[in-house]
Amino acid sequence: MKNVIVIVVCVLFISCQNKSEKNFEQLEKMNWLIGNWENKMDDGILSETWKKENDSTFSGKSYFIVNSKDTVHSETIILTQLNDELIYSPTVKGQNDDKPIDFIMTSDSENNFVFENPKHDYPQKIVYKKATENSLVATISGMQQGKVSSEGYGMKRK
């Protein structure tokens, strides 16, 4: 009887282990995002940093700095997998009462990850594309003041 209990406990432990390993497949596809990214432009530096908080969550920070010291834009981002949904939640300082806006991943294919929130004023779509191991393009797009708008930001790994 003792052996049967040990076997049952082992089987339960192994089955729980296998299940948890596959719980965050969507988020794991974006592991390449972890690290520091930067784009030096004539009018300033765009910097984005990502780290893994736990199996289900990444956190990011994005800044645009001018004159090597003045931050003109900053946001924090939580990228989390909840069940089978991947949710991109930026919080932009000074916007939306400093509360996050959720964008749900609507597609992912060949290193192209699309997050959308059609109810948001602008942007309604955020796309991260892994161009190479050390470069990405982040694009925001949607309707802005009645016109279609799109802005892309290429970044290289620091």
What pLDDT does 22 receive? Answer: 55
Q: Is 90 exposed, middle or buried (0-12, 13-18, 19+ CB in 10 A)?
A: buried
What pLDDT does 1 receive? Answer: 53
Q: What DSSP element (H or E) covers 80?
A: strand 70-82
Q: Which two tokens mark 10?
A: 């082992």
Model's pTM, two decimal places? 0.84
Contact assessment for residue 122 and residue 142, using Cβ atoms and an 8 Å cutoff: yes
What is the CA 156 to chain-centroid distance, rounded? 16
What pLDDT does 121 receive? Answer: 93
What pLDDT does 8 receive? Answer: 40
What pLDDT does 21 receive? Answer: 53
CB proximity list for 152: less than 8 A, separation 6 or greater: 137, 138, 139
Delineate the domains of the chain, giving CATH numbers in brackets: 24-157 (2.40.128.20)
pLDDT by residue, tens only, the chain of 158 residues:
555 444 444 444 444 444 445 589 999 999 999 999 999 999 999 999 999 999 999 999 999 999 877 888 899 999 999 999 999 999 998 899 999 999 999 999 889 999 999 999 999 999 999 999 999 999 999 999 999 999 999 999 99
What pLDDT does 67 receive? Answer: 84
What pLDDT does 70 receive? Answer: 83
What pLDDT does 63 receive? Answer: 94
What pLDDT does 55 receive? Answer: 95
**Residue 158, CA atoms < 13 Å, CB-side half-sphere:** 12
